[in-house]
Amino acid sequence: MARSGIYKSEVVRARNNLIAQGRHPSIDAVRVELGNTGSKVTIHRYLKEIEEEESGKAKGKGVALSEALQNLTLKLAEQLQDEAEQQILAIKITHAGELRASQEALRTAEAETQALRKSLTEAQKETAAGNGRYEELQQAFIAETQARNKAEQRAADLQLQLESEVRHREATEAKYADARRSLEHFRDASREQREQEARQHENQVQFLQHELHSLKDGQTKAQLKSAEAFQELARMTSELGAARRELTQQEKLKGQVQSLNERLAAMQNERNLVNSQLGHERQQTKVLQAELEKAVELRKAEEARAKGLEADLLTMKVRLETSEELGEKIQTQVSKFIESAAGKP
């Protein structure tokens, strides 16, 4: 707003300078000469006083009419200026309030955005930790699966070995049964032979002794075969015990395999739980991202609203300048009217 605290002497000096330069001493020209200071209403009033003092012709009714028009013009100009200043003040107050509200909302949105970004960062860290845990569980699952396959292969090999030992034991038992039947048959034959030899004639004693010696040799061989059969039986019994111990070990391996299966099932359940938690965290991350996008949109809307308020303020300034120009035009027309009225008889 222009400064109104100027003196009449300053207006007189500016007017004289303009006249000396051959320029018309209008209100705008005088104001520019004064350094764009002073109220146009005040400048107009001082110019009118100077003109009245110089002309000395403002008398009677014409003077009264000129003074009434001048007072009316001054009042209208002052009223327009007051109204314009009040409108500008109201607009500034409204704009300041709206600007403060916009800045507060913007600060709130920025705080929420930072909080959302922090939550998003924490969620991403938790997701990364969950992925690492999932990879560890996956590797442990692969290791357990390999161990289980090895244990199952070992159990299958032991089963084949057990079946082979059982078949070998059955074959050995069949051999032992054949040997016992042969021995019984030999004993029966020997007994019958001895009975026949006892009933023979003494003339055949040498022959019988020779035969007895042969029978003793056969018996010795049979005893040797029987001892070998007993040794084979003892060996088979030992092998059977070893096979039973191997079978017991196989049962232990089966128990270990079952324990591994239970651990594998537990790991699979834990893996499913981790996958579920990971899906929940991903869903929460999407929600946080959506809230962040909303906050960004809200911030953009507040910025657009602030720009709109600035545009409204600029429009009001233009309107104010237009009002001042209109007031100046009215003052000019009134001045011309006064001058024309004053020049009439």
Q: What tens digit of pLDDT does each residue of 159-193 get? A: 888 888 888 888 878 876 886 787 778 778 777 88
* Domain span holding position 15: 8-110+304-343
Angle, vertex CA 90, rays to CA 84 and CA 94, nearest 5: 145
Q: Which amino acid is at 55?
A: S
The token pair at 144 is 């357990």
Q: What is the pLDDT of residue 276?
A: 83
Within the chain, residue ranges assigned H as helices are: 8-20, 27-33, 40-55, 60-199, 205-343
Please indicate, yes or no, if residue 119 is contained in any of the structural domains: no
Q: Are 261 and 148 in contact (CB under 8 A)?
A: yes
Report the distance separating Cα 19 and Cα 34, nearest Å.
Answer: 14
Q: Name the helix (H) or strand (E) containing 203.
A: none
Query: Nearest 10 degrees: CA dihedral of 106, 110, 111, 112?
Result: 100
Judged against a pLDDT cut of 50, whether residue 4 lies above it is answered with no
Answer whether residue 81 shows pLDDT above 80.
no
For 133-157, letters b (16+ CB in 10 Å) and e give ebeebeeebeebeeebeebeeebee
* pLDDT over 50 (residue 345): no
Domains identified in the chain, total number: 2
Rounded mean pLDDT of the chain?
Answer: 78
Instruction: Compute the Cα dihedral for 321, 327, 332, 333 and give only its sign.
Output: positive
- For residue 255, how many other CB atoms are within 10 A of its CB? 10
Q: Are residues 218 and 330 in the same domain?
A: no
Verify that 161 and 238 share a domain, yes or no: yes
**Whether pLDDT at 267 is above 60:** yes
Of all helices (H) and strands (E), which one includes residue 6?
none
Quick one: 181 and 258 in the same domain?
A: yes
* C-alpha–C-alpha distance, residues 41 and 5, integer Å: 12
Residue 129 resides in a domain:
no
CA atoms within 13 A on the CB side of 283: 6
Q: Quick one: average pLDDT of 116-139?
A: 85
Are residues 101 and 197 part of one domain? Answer: no
List the structure tokens of 286: 């999407």
Q: What is the reported pLDDT for 298? A: 82
pLDDT of 322 > 70? The answer is yes
pLDDT for the residue numbered 17: 92
Domain final residue pick, 286, 314, 330: 286
Lowest-pLDDT choice from 122-126, 138-142, 176-180? 176-180
What pTM was estimated for this model as a whole? 0.27
Closest CA to 190 of 182, 178, 179: 182
Does residue 323 surpass a pLDDT of 70?
no
Answer yes or no: is 1 within a domain. no
Q: How many percent of the chain have pLDDT more than 70?
A: 82
Q: Please classify residue 87 by burial: count the beta carbons closer than 10 Å to its beta carbon, then call 0-12 exposed, 13-18 middle and 19+ buried.
A: middle
List the structure tokens of 331. 């003052």
In the 8-state DSSP scheme, what is residue 22?
Answer: T
Looking at the structure, tell me whether residues 234 and 333 fall in a common domain.
no
**Percentage of residues in the chain with pLDDT exceeding 90?**
4
Half-sphere exposure of 316 (CA within 13 A, CB side): 18
Q: What is the pLDDT of residue 281?
A: 76
pLDDT at res. 145 = 87
DSSP state of 202: G
| Residue predicted with more confidence, 340 or 146 | 146
Asked if the structure places residue 100 within a domain, the reply is: yes
Q: Which of 253, 230, 229 is nearest to 162 (CA)?
A: 253
Same domain, 60 and 140: no
Higher pLDDT, 249 or 1: 249
Q: Is 123 within a domain?
A: no
Distances (CA, A) of 319 to 84, 85, 307: 9, 12, 18
CB within 8 Å of 44: residues ≥ 6 apart: 27, 73, 74, 77, 331, 335
List pLDDT tens digits, range 18-72. Answer: 989 988 889 999 999 999 888 889 999 999 888 888 876 544 444 445 666 766 7
Highest mean pLDDT among 105-109, 236-240, 274-278: 105-109
Yes or no: say if 274 and 207 are a contact pair by the CB < 8 Å rule: no
CATH code of the domain covering residue 266: 1.10.287
Residue whose structure tokens are 């403002």: 58
Q: With bands split at pLDDT 50, 70 and 90, how would you rate the model's confidence at 334?
A: low
Q: Are residues 47 and 14 in the same domain?
A: yes
pLDDT at 133: 82
Higher pLDDT, residue 17 or 320 = 17
Cα–Cα distance measured from residue 35 to residue 50, given in angstroms and rounded to the nearest whole number: 20
Give mean pLDDT, residues 264-293. 80
* Per-residue confidence (pLDDT) for residue 344, from 0 to 100: 47
* Within a domain: 72: yes
Q: Do 140 and 87 share a structural domain?
A: no
Residues 184 and 273 in one domain: yes
Amino acid identity, position 320: L
* More confident position, 225 or 101: 101
| 276 and 162 assigned to the same domain | yes
In a domain, 210, yes or no: yes
Q: How far apart are the first and last CA of the chain?
A: 40
Residues 218, 194 contacting (CB under 8 angstroms): no
pLDDT at residue number 201: 62
203-242 pLDDT, tens digit each: 765 775 676 677 677 768 767 876 776 687 678 778 778 8
For residues 266 and 171, membership in a common domain is answered with: yes
Q: Do residues 154 and 100 both lie within one domain?
A: no
